[in-house]
Chain A
Amino acid sequence: MLVSSAVVVSVGLLLGAIGLGAFIWAFWVGAFESLDEQARCILDERDLRMRRPWETPGQARERRRLYGGPLEPGPGEWGGALGRGGR
């Protein structure tokens, strides 16, 4: 049992150490600052301005207010042709 315990524990500790090292490094380089900006970094102007057909009138108004006049989505914009007849 000694060998497997040693391996499992040491590799578990290694994984933990890697995680801890990465965490400290991330903290050091400021990866936990500007979280709101980080959350938005995957969205570009088109993502934000595009009209979403599922949004309520209130949600659509809020989108227009925040990001300006809406852009129309293209066919298959949401990852497939479902809007063209498939349900």
Chain B
Amino acid sequence: MTAPAASTDVVTLRDLDEPGRVPALVAFVSAVAWLLVGSLLGLVASLKFNFPDWWTGWAPATFGRVRAAHLNAMIYGWASLAMLGISVWLVPRLVHAPLRWPRVATGGIVFWNGAILVGVLALLAGWTDGLEWLEFPRSVVDPMLIVAGGMVGVTLLGTVLGGRARHLYVSVWYVAAAFVWFPIIFVTGNLPVFRGVESAAVNWFYAHNALGFWLTAIGLGAVYYFIPKVLGRPIYSYQLSLLGFWTLAFFYALNGMHHLIGGPLPTWMITTSIVASVLMVIPVAAVAVNHHMSMVGRFASLRYSPTLRFVVLGAVAYTAVSLQGIFTAFREVNRITHFTHWTIAHSHVGVYAFVTFVMFGSVYYVIPRLVGRDWPDGRLIAWHFWLALGGIGAFVLALNLGGVLQGLALMDPQVPFQASVEAAAPWLAVRSLAGVVLTAAHLVFAWHLWKVLRRAPTVGPLPPWHDPRPVVVPPPGPWS
């Protein structure tokens, strides 16, 4: 690897990619391993709704432990690690500077994996903080995550600050902001000073912001890169992309309290959250219009590009989950959907149909550029896509319908509680079937990744997209 010169110069994409290659590969491979672990845990948890007496004699396999292990393996294992991988690959390309301190980034990603392993084992052993999205023991695992994330964050923010691009593309804003926001909300959520309803308020402050300021931020950053990159044309409106970013930054922070509608909290707190949720229509509309208009007239590209196929569907899911979230934040809707499977469907639209699909598409684009060879089998990509789409479609449809029926039954004082359980039962069976399909999709994906990684290095000319294409590096930007 040749370090780029300090002044106006020409480097190559390979120069920019190379330092981030190892940390990105470690992140992607371990992310997919956690995807498989999390899928199996989720499947076991789902089956326990259909067969409540199944596998109850062994405490680690009981629902309360398996469900928490599934959630944390997926959020912090799969999604976060995939996002770390995308970030260390994407940021150097965008700021025209190689990744700073790549060994620190690799160490951080390895340490992050260690934290997840300890955390998942702790949850299965019954050691939990008992807070949604914060189940990992705060005395052991959370400090490890802070250190590990900090190691990666320092390398990325250092790369941005030392960047030499003339402009900070909107994806850099999203990714860099995520690495500033996440430690703040994570530390706040883990402060060990809250009890009872206070704890619930801070818990949802964290959990909702983890979705908006971490998963959404890096997910949208990737969408804003891959759609124009594959289409070979700029995003429809760069103004709208900036509007979307800044309004997310200003309006999102207080959204979380809408999860506590009906709870013993001050009315102003809930109302403020509902107002903030409604304000989210601005960034959501800005992003949705921008992505849609960028694709208009070019939807045929989805037949050719697996990356676009996943990323565009992920972008559509972002719009869907955001509008659903705004809708659900209204008290009249929330009193029906709260405490039902609707919420589970909603979170899966966000974390799976949006974030996971964007990560799948990103991995399909990035891995060949990291290893210098193409994915070996287009049929496996097609299988992966259709299984994932079919699985999440059935999952969301079933739990949305089942959740509403369950909620209506719960609302009716004439209906016994048992009826609400029975109303949801058939939909829970569909959910488990969808879980089987999703797990199959992930196995196909993991198998394909294994195949591309174990193939012999390309002999002869590299694919054209891997050639050392020149990148003109201008004088330092104002942030350098």
Contact A42 to B169, CB < 8 A, known contacts A11-B188, A30-B478, A75-B463: yes
Q: Is A74 an interface residue (CB 8 A)?
A: yes
CA distance A31 to B176 in the complex (A): 15
User: A47 to B303, Cβ gap below 8 A?
Assistant: no
Chain A interface size band reads 35 or more
Q: Is the CB of B201 within 8 A of A81?
A: no
Is B330 part of the contact surface with A, judged by Cβ < 8 Å?
Answer: no
Count B interface residues, CB 8 Å.
Answer: 81
- Residue of B at shortest CB range from A12? B253
- Is A38 within 8 A of B169, CB to CB? yes
Whether B250 contacts A56 by the Cβ 8 Å rule is no
- CB < 8 Å neighbour of B304 from A16, A37, A40, A82: A82
Which residues on B sit within 8 Å (CB–CB) of A29?
477-479
* Residue in chain A with minimal CB distance to B365: A79
Residue of A with least CB distance to B461: A74
Bound complex: CA A74 to CA B198 (Å): 57
In the complex, A59→B297 CA distance in Å?
A: 9
Q: B125-147 interface mask toward A, CB cutoff 8 Å, 1 = contact, 0 = none? A: 00000000000000000000000
> Which B residues are closer than 8 A to A by beta carbons?
93-94, 165-171, 177, 180-181, 184-185, 188, 191, 193-194, 197-199, 201-202, 205, 213, 225-226, 228-235, 238-239, 241-242, 246, 249-250, 253-254, 257, 265-266, 269, 297-298, 300-301, 303-309, 361, 364-365, 368, 374-382, 463-465, 469-471, 477-479
Which A residues lie at the B interface, using CB under 8 A? 1, 3-5, 7-8, 11-12, 14-16, 18-20, 22-23, 26, 29-32, 34-44, 46-48, 50, 52-56, 59, 63, 71, 73-87
Additional 20 contacts, C-beta under 8 A, given A39-B235, A46-B464: A7-B194, A7-B202, A8-B254, A14-B184, A15-B185, A16-B253, A18-B184, A19-B249, A22-B177, A23-B246, A30-B478, A37-B167, A43-B229, A43-B232, A43-B234, A76-B374, A76-B463, A78-B365, A79-B305, A87-B382
